[in-house]
Amino acid sequence: MKEWQKELYIYRLSTAPPKKDDLQEYIDLYLAEKDETYLSWFLHYYEPTLNTTVMGIVQRYSMFGHFLDIKEACVLGILRALEEYPKDCETPFITYKTRIMWEEIHSYIRTMRTGFTVQSDDEYRNLRNIMRLYTAYNSKGDPDTLKKISDEVGLSGKTVNEILRSGFHNMQFIDFYRSYADEDSEESREDVTCDYTFEPYREREVIRSHIGFCPDFHSMKSPKFRPHTFQEIAYKNELSSAEAAENIYHKGLAKMKDKLQKKGIFHP
């Protein structure tokens, strides 16, 4: 077996564990007994699905050589989701963990793609904000661009300069994606670094964020969540603009309405 093939089977057990009809059963047993054996059984049977997801990411983002690292990011997201999974949650764990798992995936991708280690989501949003301000001021030929950005974000000129340098490095990857993406794809024109059809969870996340729906408590009254503007959603979800976020929002709503119409639940 070649080395890269071994990466496909790192969670496969030498002796297949008892097969359950539903993977949720392993999760329920793990949470009830805190026995990691059940988690290893879950990963044994979930690994083929995990491999498919990771391979899609590798191909979509041209990150060959990062298969195992991305796979580990996925599993880190699964472990995080287990820690946060509410007791007696009505949402199946496979669905619940999606948002958290993709947060870890994008955290890994953005760190590798910027060539600049971002310690937190806030720092990453700051980077995107500074790049947006630079584009706005510099497009007008403003000679005080650096100072105005520094004043607006409350950082020193030196720090802003370092962030801009890392941002320019990231733009080289965006140029690559622009040539790599399908030129006929509407999504690639809006935001060439993202593929919304490959990540259907993104539409749900944008809708959830905009209306302030809490995915953990299935409520719009949770103190943990509030409605977010499209600009805020763009920063958090690595989109090029507020308009891109709004387009995803409306596309997601249209798909939801279409599915409900087909089921006879929604009548316009």
Phi, psi of 117 (to 5 degrees): -75, 120
Q: Is the pLDDT of residue 65 over 50?
A: yes
Entry pTM: 0.51
What CA–CA distance (Å, rounded) separates 247 from 10? 39
Give the model's pLDDT for residue 210. 85
Spatial neighbors of 226 by CB under 8 A, at least 6 apart, are 212
Q: How far is residue 107 from each of residues 65, 238, 239, 255, measured CA to CA in Å?
A: 17, 10, 14, 28
Q: How confident is residue 218, by pLDDT bands cut at 50, 70 and 90?
A: low
Q: Is the pLDDT of residue 95 over 60?
A: yes
> What radius of gyration, in Å, describes the C-alpha atoms of the chain?
21
Question: How do residues 38-61 score in pLDDT, each as one tens digit?
Answer: 999 999 999 998 988 888 888 777
Average pLDDT of the chain?
A: 76
Spatial neighbors of 166 by CB under 8 A, at least 6 apart, are 114, 115, 116, 127
What single-letter amino acid sits at 67?
A: F
DSSP secondary structure code for residue 240 in this structure: S
Give the model's pLDDT for residue 268. 62
Give the model's pLDDT for residue 164. 74
Domain spans in the chain, listed from the N-terminal domain onward: 1-114, 118-180, 183-268
Percent above pLDDT 90 for the chain: 21
Question: How do residues 148-160 score in pLDDT, each as one tens digit?
Answer: 888 888 888 888 8
Give the model's pLDDT for residue 125. 66
- Residue whose C-alpha is closest to residue 108's, from 69, 81, 67: 69
Which of 186-190, 207-211, 230-234 has the lowest average pLDDT?
186-190
The answer to whether residues 149 and 130 touch, using CB atoms and an 8 Å cutoff, is yes
Highest mean pLDDT among 79-83, 144-148, 229-233, 247-251: 79-83
Class of residue 46 by CB neighbours under 10 A (exposed 0-12, middle 13-18, buried 19+): middle
Bigger pLDDT: 138 or 183? 138
Bigger pLDDT: 16 or 2? 16
Q: Is the pLDDT of residue 100 over 80?
A: yes
